[in-house]
Structure 1
Amino acid sequence: MRPQSISPETYIFRDDGKIPNSNYPILVYRNVFSGRGTEGALWLEHLFKENGWHNFWKWTIYSFHHYHSNTHEVLGVFQGSAEICLGGPTGKKIMIEAGDILVIPAGVAHKCISSSDGFTVVGAYPEGKSPDLIRAEESNHDTAVLRIQQVTVPEQDPVLGNAGGLLKLWI
């Protein structure tokens, strides 16, 4: 089952000297699916795999500002809710809950501020990619920027496939 006619919220953050962030916006798809627990996790894995996103994991979001300089990331919330910060310490705080999916461009910081008991996401990356993990520090910035510049736009949006999403908003 492929979601249809979904328009994501978008947030864009600029380089602050510690966190590169991106020229691409974060995409937040709200209330995409109704399955929870194992059913929701399996649905997300199937959707992501169908759209060329792999290397799945299930856990929470780190409680410190971090980003990935070598790949984009998708996070699908299948259990609980959380307040997260996007874009680093001067970024934006938003609430996410089961049913939501976030597409995070390479270089964009994210952090869990607080969460409900059992808050869990499925994370994935474009096929063939494994993420690095970079804390938001000035000493990492310049080399990370060079790696981020090499990351290409994925062939498909993890939610909408070739029907839109990042294919329209990141070009």
Structure 2
Amino acid sequence: MAILVPMKLAEALALRADAARRAEQLRTRITASARYQEGEAPAEDASALLVEAGEVLGELESLIRRINRTNAATEVTGEGTLTDALARRDVLRMRHGVVTAAANAAAGDGQRGYRQLRSELKMIPALPVAELRRQADDLARQLREVDTLIQRSNWEVGLLD
């Protein structure tokens, strides 16, 4: 039975990212060593790598379960649970991306904004660029605030078993 070491949520998130990277690296090494030329030796023992990958993925699953339990049980001021705050942050990022893309497209960013000849058609924005930029700024502020709450919680909250 594995001994669960008390740790903060932020530490578990770092371990989760590391385990995911290790699992991907092991996958790459396994596929590189799964076949080898007759008369040659494989670069690595693919069977041993598979066992190691299984162990790493088991650790990853345990961390993900504990992180999810912690996120669902942790209250964040003004946001509900940490899970709610994460959902809000994800959607704020998407909203910011949509509004910024709309403002850029309406402003003609990256496109020629002038006519070379009088016979060329003039492009007119279909959206209020200045208002969209204000909305994007407000969304960016909200995103920073929610992200700060999440980061604070990550360092203050202990990981649940």
TM-score (norm 1): 0.28
Larger proportion of strand: 1
TM-score (norm 2): 0.29
Of the two, which has the highest radius of gyration?
A: 2
